[in-house]
Amino acid sequence: MRLSTFVLIAIAVAAVVFGVSRGIQNDYVFFAGYVVLNYIVLATAWNILGGYCGYVNFGSAAFFALGAYSTVALHKLWPMPIPMLILIGGIVSGIVGLGMGYLTLRLRGAFFAIATLAMAVVLQTLIINWDYVGGSRGAYIIRPQNLEIAGFQLPYVQYLFALMLALTVAAVAVARAIERSSLGYGFATIRDDELAAEACGVPTLKLKLIATALSGAFMGMSGAPFPYYIGYLEPSSAFGLQYAVNSIAMPMIGGTTSWIGPLIGAVLLGSLQQIATVTISSAVNLLIVGVLLVAFVIIAPNGIVGLVQERRRARGPR
Amino acid sequence: MAISPELLLNAIVAGLLLGGFYVAVTVGVSVSFGILDIVNIAHPAFIILGSYIAYIVNTRLGVDPIVVAFVMLPVFYALGAAVYEVYYQSFERRGQEALRGLAFFFGLLFITEVALILVFGVDYRYVQAGYIGPTWRIGFVDFPLRMLVPCVISLLMMGALQMFLSRSFTGRAIMAVAQDQQALRLMAVNPIRIKRIAFAISIATASLAGAFLIVIQPVEPSVGREYIGRVFAICVLGGLGSMPGTVIAAMLLGIVESITSTFYGPSWSPAVAFGLLLLTLAFRPAGLLGR
């Protein structure tokens, strides 16, 4: 399938999702759906670096929070429409990803993973000590009730949902495009044998930096509308452990080698958590995610996609 | 800002004592990450587990937390051996430790933290012991016993471990397993068994480190995350697998953190370790006493 066809289909699917959600006549669908979409973007972004290149990023929450806090900072300085804020959040996170990557990606993979883990703690420390964005007290963002587009009233949460939907389409399309381009093959050589790739003349550092910047940028973009969604942003909610763990667990459970894996993982796990949060409790549903993550990496290393492929191969003619 | 020499000296002494404690926290990772090349990011979770065990026994039975930790050493050793067995069978043998092995340890870290939150809540817990209140004073320098006792015991532990690694056959085999597994096989030693022993020892140290932690400060389940940056910063700065390097780096980080929190405020101290880690990775990735 050509990329343009894929994008058209994805947009059509997104339009249907939006239409159906509006048809249900319940705003909760938009609140829950927004979170699931957010996770699709995070999981897809994580997978660009983690699944394609094989470098683990534990700092998804930090990149997400960078996007959210750049919105808070700009909201006070210079109010502007959310699509602009998404772009800026993406740029900020992308640059931080690039810097982190430049310092640590030249070394063994483990160092990058450890550095991202530590970065989350440090950025949180910085935000807590930075009074301008509310420090540890947090910051309020009052969102308008409705948005008026050409005389048509759209509830604000639906607007945010539509933005996240657009971002989801963009992230999935980019991930799929990478997979089928020379960039994607370059990434795969890094994942499979970096030394051999280097020896064959693959510019590994450059490719890794591209992946880190792209992945960080999408995480930041998904965080930028978050203050408007939640209305009150404090460090512990922006840096929440659930973002870090979900953006790893979702691709791992779905399957890391193709764009569909994180999508499946995020939709399944994201919906499951929305249901579990309402019916059981939010701490228990985090425990479920952790247990699922460990169980999947041990029992089904290639995720749900891998399981399906195995079954197909077993059934098909040799 | 005028810096009085008394304040500075006190900050340095406090930093050295803190550094001694950091030795206990890091020594396990020095073995697992430094020698065995197993990126055990769940180590702080085992430390917090140690803290909570010390807390439970201390509040129920009134036993000294550090004594509890010594009693629990074999249990943590067995736990470590079991974790290594799972890790080896599922990841190391298949050559998948880079991505899935890391995710596995991250999952363990996460499960431990959430499980502790579910059982104990997010309240800070603390223990009672005779040495937690008093302070020795030499001249104008303070030696709070709650810092001094963990510092001394952890340095003793480090010394014992160093003796074990350099003198005993098993210890030497552990040092060798990082360099040449084939050579070990030729000596009729099973490298997997040696690695299991070493990893089990590394988790056993978490029992003591956990008791020290709860003696030094009140503990809640997510405290462990602050230590991930510290532990790996010390480990990398000291030079992977070097025990003397670990001690030097731990003392260094202790002093820098103590001075930062004395003169700029304690809320900045988690950032110090990360800064140190990034500087080391950028300028001298082999660490101070690296191979």
* Contacts for A254 with CB less than 8 Å, ≥ 6 apart: A43, A260, A261, A262, A263, A264, A265, A266, A268, A303, A304, A305
Q: What is the mean pLDDT of residues A24-36?
A: 84
What is the arithmetic mean of pLDDT over A135-157? 77
- H or E element that contains A98: helix A82-104
Mean pLDDT, consecutive 10-residue segments, chain B of 291 residues?
Answer: 77 91 93 89 93 93 90 95 92 78 89 90 85 82 87 93 92 87 85 93 94 92 84 88 90 91 80 82 79 61
Any B CB within 8 A of A248 CB: yes
* Sign for the pseudo-dihedral over CA of A11, A13, A14, A16: positive
Task: Please check whether residue B286 touches A, CB under 8 A.
Answer: no
Return d(Cα B243, Cα B289) in angstroms, integer.
Answer: 9
pLDDT in tens, A232-278: 888 888 888 888 889 999 999 998 888 999 999 999 999 888 888 77
User: Is A26 at the interface with chain B, CB within 8 A?
Assistant: no
Within 8 A by CB and 6+ apart from A272, the residues are: A285, A288
**ipTM > 0.85, yes or no:** no
pLDDT for A318 beyond 80:
no
Query: Where along chain A do its domains lie?
Result: 3-240
Q: What is the pLDDT of residue B276?
A: 84
Minimal Cβ distance to B99: which of A50, A289, A294: A50
**CB contact B94 to A (< 8 Å):** yes
pLDDT(A281) > 60: yes
Q: Do B267 and A248 touch (CB under 8 A)?
A: no
- Give the residue from chain B lying closest to A53, CA to CA: B99
Residue A166 has pLDDT above 60, yes or no: yes
Separation between Cα atoms, residue A249 and residue A260, nearest integer Å: 14
A252 touches chain B (CB under 8 A): yes
What pLDDT does A169 receive? 92
Average pLDDT over residues A292-301: 88
pLDDT at A79 over 80: no
Residue A172 pLDDT more than 80? Answer: yes
Contacts of B225 in chain A (CB under 8 A): 121
Q: CB contact, 8 Å: A196 with chain B? A: no
CATH for B5-283 (2.60.120, 1.10.510, 1.10.8, 1.10.3470): 1.10.3470
Residue type, A121: V
Quick one: pLDDT at residue B163?
A: 93
Residues B100 and B38: beta-carbon distance below 8 Å: no
Helix axes A82-104, B269-283, angle to 10 degrees: 60
On whether any CB of chain B is under 8 Å from the CB of A202, the answer is no
Which residue did the predictor score with more confidence, A103 or B244?
B244
The residues, any chain, with a CB within 8 Å of residue A82's CB and separated by 6 or more, are A159, A160, A163, A224, A225, A228
Q: Which amino acid is at A277?
A: T
Dihedral angle computed from the Cα positions of residues A70, A71, A76 and A80, in that order, rounded to the nearest 10 degrees: 130
Which one of B106, B112, B122, B240 would you mutate to disrupt binding with A, by most A Cβ within 10 Å of its Cβ? B106
A300 near B CB under 8 A: no
Q: What is the pTM of this model?
A: 0.87
Name the 3-class secondary structure at B142: strand
Q: Is B264 on the interface with A (CB under 8 A)?
A: no
The pLDDT assigned to A103 comes to: 82
- Cα distance from N-terminal residue to C-terminal residue, chain A: 26
pLDDT band at A317 (very low <50, low <70, confident <90, very high): low
Q: What is the mean pLDDT of chain A?
A: 87
pLDDT tens, residue by residue, A8-29? 888 888 888 888 887 777 778 8
Nearest-CA distance B131 → chain A (Å): 31
Question: How many whole angstroms from its chain centre is CA B115?
Answer: 21
Give the range among A51-65, A74-88, B69-83 with minimum mean pLDDT: A74-88
Partnered with residue B141 across adjacent β-strands are B138
The residue of chain B nearest to residue A124, with distances taken between CA atoms, is: B271
Is residue A297 within 8 A of residue B94, CB to CB? The reply is no
Pairing state between β A232-233 and A139-140: antiparallel
Contact call for residues B106 and A278 (beta carbons, < 8 A): no
**What pLDDT, on a 0 to 100 scale, did the predictor assign at position B1?**
53
If you average pLDDT over residues A192-200, what whole number do you get? 87
Question: Residue B125 — φ and ψ, nearest 5°?
Answer: -110, 150
Q: Which of A111, A252, A287 sits opposite B103 (nearest CB)?
A: A252
Q: Would the CB atoms of A248 and B100 count as touching at under 8 Å?
A: no
Cα–Cα distance for residue pair B217/B47, rounded to 1 Å: 13
Residues of B whose CB is below 8 A from A126? 271
